[in-house]
Each structure stands twice: as structure tokens, then as C-alpha cells.
Amino acid sequence: MKMNKKLIATSVLILLSSPMVILAVFNPGPPPNTVNTLSVEALIQVIFNIIWPVAVAFFIIMFIIAAFSFATSRGDATKVGEARNFVIYGVVGVVVALIAFSLPFVVRNLLNSSGVGV
């Protein structure tokens, strides 16, 4: 019984340390597709250029759903309330997105006007 515990412990130790020993000699080479001209500001601009059309599409879909809900509510108070909530969510989303997307420009202009180099 005592021999089995030692054998299991040794086997586990060898198995757990083998990736470290095997990968110690591994040379992955240079990183692929490195871009030396990419800065944090350029990366944020690329992300905003991707997210902005998605956000606009979301707002348009939200307002279309609200209009459809208003049209099919037929005066039912709960359905009108749901449609009103869609409009409120759409307006809040537009306001939040406009603030979020204008914030980097505001910060950049404030830093440039204060004399800090950005």
C-alpha cells in the first residue's frame, strides 16, 4: 500500500513537470503579423469604427420594434407600455452611445488645449 502511494506521487510529479521540460526548448519564432505603426489611439479608432455601425443598426431595429409594437397594440395599455419602453431604451441607448463615442474626442481636445502632448 505504501509503495503504491510513492509510485502514484512520483508518476504525478513526472507527468506534471513534463510539459515544463518539453516546452523549455521550444522556440516559437517571431510573432506573426506584427504592426509597428499601431498605437493605442489607432486601435481605439479601429474598434470604434467597428462598433459604431453595429450600435446604429441596433438603435434602428429598436425603434422599428417600438413602432411595430405601437401599431399592433390596438390601445391595450400593457402593449402600449411595452412599446413605450422600447422607445425609452432606444433613446437611452442613443444618448449613451453618443456620450461614449464622443468621450475620446473630448478628452483629446482637453489634453491638447492644456498643453499636454498626446
What pLDDT digit, counting tens, does each position of 63-108 carry?
Answer: 888 888 888 888 888 888 888 888 888 888 888 888 888 887 787 7
Instruction: List all residues 6 or more positions away from 52 whose beta carbon is below 8 Å from its beta carbon.
Output: 97, 101
Better pLDDT: 17 or 67: 67
Amino acid at 38: L
Amino acid at 6: K
Which is nearest to 62 in space by CA: 96, 95, 85? 85
pLDDT of res. 35: 64
DSSP assignment letter at 30: S
Better pLDDT: 116 or 8: 8
Task: Tell me how far apart the alpha carbons of residues 104 and 110 are, in angstroms, rounded to a whole number.
Answer: 10
Task: Tell me how far apart the alpha carbons of residues 25 and 17 are, in angstroms, rounded to a whole number.
Answer: 14
Query: Where are the domains positioned within the chain?
Result: 37-118
Mean pLDDT of 33-59: 79
| pTM for the full predicted model | 0.53
